[in-house]
Amino acid sequence: MSTRETSRFVRLRAELVVEIDDEDAVTKAALRRIADEGDVPDGEREHAESAVTADTAEALAYLVDPFSLVSEVPGVELLQASWSSERIDYDPDSPEWDLGGEDDEASDEASYDESYDDEDGAGRAG
């Protein structure tokens, strides 16, 4: 497939599992970030403060900034991002947490063959 036939848009997926060993530090950092944002209306600020105070996972989500992940990458512009966080039960020995599973196999296949046909015959890049 030539460069002209290939989409310029890329969906980058990342899944992280983090361990929070100081919930208070995470909450305080989120509250500082909220306080530093001067252009947030009072109602939105109060809602954000309430959410990050009530749930450390919300505080972490407030601190994660997808823009900062790609802002220094030359030739890349972030067009859309969404992310969330949730508390989970984590067992690193469980097959459920094998991050090198099916998704990586599809990515590996796509890396060897830049495009391939899916069931309906439409090309798909990985």
Please indicate, yes or no, if residue 112 is contained in any of the structural domains.
Answer: no
Please indicate, yes or no, if residue 22 is contained in any of the structural domains.
Answer: yes
Which is more confident, 60 or 92? 60
The pLDDT, as a whole number, for residue 83 is 87
Upper half-sphere CA count for residue 49 (Cβ side, 13 Å): 13
Mean pLDDT for the stretch of residues 43-66:
94
Please indicate, yes or no, if residue 30 is contained in any of the structural domains.
Answer: yes
Please indicate, yes or no, if residue 5 is contained in any of the structural domains.
Answer: no
pLDDT in tens, 75-112: 999 999 988 888 988 888 888 777 665 544 444 433 33
Please indicate, yes or no, if residue 32 is contained in any of the structural domains.
Answer: yes
Please indicate, yes or no, if residue 106 is contained in any of the structural domains.
Answer: no
Which is more confident, 115 or 91? 91
Q: Is pTM beyond 0.75 here? A: no
Please indicate, yes or no, if residue 119 is contained in any of the structural domains.
Answer: no
Residues 6+ apart with CB under 8 A from 83: 61, 64, 66
Q: What is the extent of the structural domain holding 77? A: 18-87
